[in-house]
């Protein structure tokens, strides 16, 4: 399992706390802890000071209380504890797995659980809100995704497609096709045309975070004639 983890396991840099102006870099690989520093000072004696580096094995770092103190001074107690945990083999596997594998795992969760996961860290918040996640979510819950749906997703986002009902999606596709045809006819006749726009407030049908219902966008047939607009508004 550890072979799936990237190398380095941790990489962080920053300036020391005032009045210390030196710049520090900490990285933890699968075998070593590397500590580098650059002296930043207006004193002439420090003008030509070379960067320093200390490289300890995991076992050496756990015994090096002086280096641990420096890490804590610059990056804080949490980073120090996290670094010590990595040196002891306490890996946060989920946090360090490749994004492609994490997205594959996340798509097996219920949507309510995805919302909870997004609150655990910045990394998971980015993954759970990414275009890649919502595209996979749509494709996993649909037997087929038409070219029209893909084109609409590029304009409005896969997340909006996920939360749009089948009826509303049919309407959007029909209106998009009509707009394209009108623009094409306008260009041929030399008339100006407006860019394609849709009104999300009157066209989208969101279902909270419970996912697709029986009228979901799965297997949308863009050739079907949508129901009258009034019927759709009354159902919402």
98-130 pLDDT tens trace: 888 888 888 888 888 998 999 988 888 999 989
Distance CA 8, CA 11 (A): 7
Distance CA 216, CA 166 (A): 5
DSSP secondary structure of 5-27:
S-SSSEEEEEEPSTT---EEEEE
| Average pLDDT score over residue span 51-68 | 96
> Who has greater pLDDT, 43 or 89?
89
Residue 227 confidence (pLDDT) above 60:
no
Do 119 and 183 belong together in one domain?
no
Do 39 and 123 belong together in one domain?
no
Do 81 and 123 belong together in one domain?
no
pTM of the model: 0.49
Domain around 202: 143-235
Q: In what order do the strands lie in the sheet with 32-38?
A: 10-15, 23-28, 32-38, 52-57
76-86 pLDDT tens trace: 999 999 999 99
pLDDT attached to residue 28: 95
Evaluate whether residue 138 is within a structural domain. Answer: no
Average pLDDT, the chain: 78
Evaluate whether residue 213 is within a structural domain. Answer: yes
Do 11 and 32 belong together in one domain?
yes
Evaluate whether residue 137 is within a structural domain. Answer: no
In DSSP terms, which residues pair with 11 in a beta bridge?
27
| Average pLDDT score over residue span 146-167 | 84
Residue 188 confidence (pLDDT) above 90:
no
Residue 207 confidence (pLDDT) above 50:
no
Do 27 and 79 belong together in one domain?
yes
Q: Looking at the 3D structure of the chain, how many domains does it have? A: 3
Evaluate whether residue 121 is within a structural domain. Answer: yes
Confidence of residue 3 (pLDDT cuts 50, 70, 90): low
Distance CA 62, CA 85 (A): 10
Do 209 and 177 belong together in one domain?
yes
Do 156 and 210 belong together in one domain?
yes
Residue 233 confidence (pLDDT) above 70:
no
Confidence of residue 146 (pLDDT cuts 50, 70, 90): confident
Do 158 and 125 belong together in one domain?
no
Question: What does the block give as tokens for 204?
Answer: 């989208």
């Amino acid at each position: 399992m550890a072979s799936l983890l990237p190398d380095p396991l941790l990489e962080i840099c920053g300036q020391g706390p005032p009045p210390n102006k030196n710049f520090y870099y900490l990285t933890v690989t699968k075998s070593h802890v590397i500590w580098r520093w650059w002296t930043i000072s207006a004193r002439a004696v420090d003008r030509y000071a070379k960067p320093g580096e200390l490289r300890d094995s995991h076992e050496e770092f756990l015994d090096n209380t002086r280096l641990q103190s420096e890490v804590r001074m610059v990056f804080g107690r949490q980073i120090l504890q996290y670094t010590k945990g990595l040196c002891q083999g306490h890996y946060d596997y989920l946090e360090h797995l490749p994004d492609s594998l994490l997205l594959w795992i996340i798509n097996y969760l219920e949507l309510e659980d995805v919302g909870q996961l997004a609150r655990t860290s910045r990394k998971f918040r980015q993954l759970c809100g990414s275009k890649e996640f919502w595209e996979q979510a749509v494709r996993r819950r649909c037997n087929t995704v038409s070219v029209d749906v893909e084109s609409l997703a590029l304009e409005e986002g896969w997340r909006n497609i996920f939360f749009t009902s089948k009826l509303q999606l049919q309407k959007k596709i029909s209106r998009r096709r009509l707009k394209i045809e009108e623009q094409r006819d306008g260009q041929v006749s030399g008339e100006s045309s407006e860019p394609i726009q849709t009104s999300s407030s009157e066209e989208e049908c969101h279902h909270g975070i419970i996912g697709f219902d029986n009228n979901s966008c799965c297997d949308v047939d863009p050739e079907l004639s949508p129901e009258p607009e009034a019927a759709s508004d009354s159902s919402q």
